[in-house]
Amino acid sequence: MISKLSLLFCFFSVAFLFDSERAGSQDKNWTHFRGSNLNGIALDENIPLKWDDSVIKWKTEIHDKGYSSPVIYDNQIWVTTATSDGKELYAVCTDFKTGKIIYDIKVFTPDEVEGKHSLNTYASPTACIEKGFVYVHYGSMGTACINTTNGSIVWKHNDFKCKHVQGPASSPVIYKNLLILHFEGVDVRYIVALDKSSGKLIWKSDRPAEPYEPLSRIGRKAYITPLIINVKGRDMLISNGSAVCIAYDPNTGKEIWRVVDGAESTVAMPVAENGNLYWYTGFTEDSNGKKFTELLSVNSEGNGDITRTNVIWKKREELSRNQCLTPVIKDGLIYTVNTRNMMMCIDAATGGEVWSTHVISNYDASPIYVNGNILFFSVKGEVLILKAGRKYDVVAKNQMDSGIWATPAILRNSVILRTQKYLYRIGGE
């Protein structure tokens, strides 16, 4: 199932690397899926914990359907949406203070629309934004750059194709002057980097063929958003596809290392802390035909095939469906919900469970860390707020109007939350 579809300096000197404007803007803007640092950690935000009418500043109806998360720059919030048949693809901008719609732009009207999973949308990839420009992406149906000062379309691309089968989900990432896009279908698998100002192709890197050869055709697709880290002064683009996780040089697209593991329909993006990477593989089968996925911990240093040398631990998870949410990691603890509805805290050093509890609903939006709390968002609209730490401690429960598939943005003491029908601003002045 597709739906909506971290990092600190350490003794390894491993950190997220962004340009100077973005590195200092996490407290001012929320520019990507899971934040400006792509890590699901909001900085120094004092959001309300109990949500009622008194803290809801506004709610704005967003037409049609989309699971893309909100991104924010200055006073603008952008999301994408699409008609249920995928024949009209939109970008919608609202005012941060008032919720009033500023732009409602029909970006693409595809001549041909590929099918999708019944629970996915044609507007599931999250946009990314910077001063003056927002980059919206609809998978193989198209990518566009929009001028945020006047709503004009600067450039469009709809010539990068792959057969998603279940619809688009991978979100774009800005790196320096590049816009990086991930395409992994049942037919072809590659990553491209475009000049973000013109849309011109700078590099294209095809995924290696050999790790995919043992897989059935349907098992060769993935829907992940890549992560950028810096390891001892070297930038790496981490892309965990359906059969292999690869670290690329984001400047050139050349492979640095790989870990071969997993199979079909990887969705969750990788996370990182204290020199190590963590990611969910796609699902695979054991000798008894039982499907499972694994959460891996991997040392991010190395070259070539590091499958046998750098994997620190693996945690097996039995599957009832595909793993969709991306965990959040903070202070050596990983917070996640598996597909059997077990919410858990995992020790990042060992892979051992610190605590776990069964929850009723599915959680497909990714959790967010805010001011000592972890926020989880369910497809039934429940927002569960836990105290971060080694004990399961419920701080608050809140109920929204409908299901939540989009990971929210947390900015200026406000939660910008998208449900199936509305965009909300909760809290703030």
Average pLDDT over residues 351-359: 97
Average pLDDT over residues 316-324: 79
Question: CA-to-CA distance for 237 and 226, rounded, in angstroms?
Answer: 7
Q: Sorting pLDDT into bands at 50, 70 and 90, what band is 13?
A: very low
Indicate whether 8 belongs to any domain: no
Residues 6+ apart with CB under 8 A from 3: 67, 119, 120, 124, 169, 324, 364, 379, 405
Per-residue pLDDT at 27: 60
340: domain CATH number?
2.130.10.10
Indicate whether 182 belongs to any domain: yes
Indicate whether 181 belongs to any domain: yes
Question: CA-to-CA distance for 265 and 210, rounded, in angstroms?
Answer: 17
Indicate whether 7 belongs to any domain: no
Question: CA-to-CA distance for 12 and 35, rounded, in angstroms?
Answer: 24
Question: Picking from 41-45, 58-62, 243-247, which range would have the lowest pLDDT averaged per residue?
Answer: 41-45
Count of structural domains within the chain:
1
Q: Return the top range by mean pLDDT from 92-106, 288-302, 311-325.
A: 92-106
Indicate whether 70 belongs to any domain: yes
Nearest to 95 by CA among 78, 82, 76: 76
Nearest to 300 by CA among 325, 271, 328, 263: 271
Q: Which domain holds residue 266?
A: 14-426
Indicate whether 156 belongs to any domain: yes
Indicate whether 384 belongs to any domain: yes
Q: pLDDT tens digits, residue range 368-408?
A: 999 999 999 999 999 999 999 999 999 999 999 999 999 99
Indicate whether 143 belongs to any domain: yes
**Confidence check: pLDDT of 6 > 90:** no
**Confidence check: pLDDT of 192 > 80:** yes
- Average per-residue pLDDT for the chain: 91
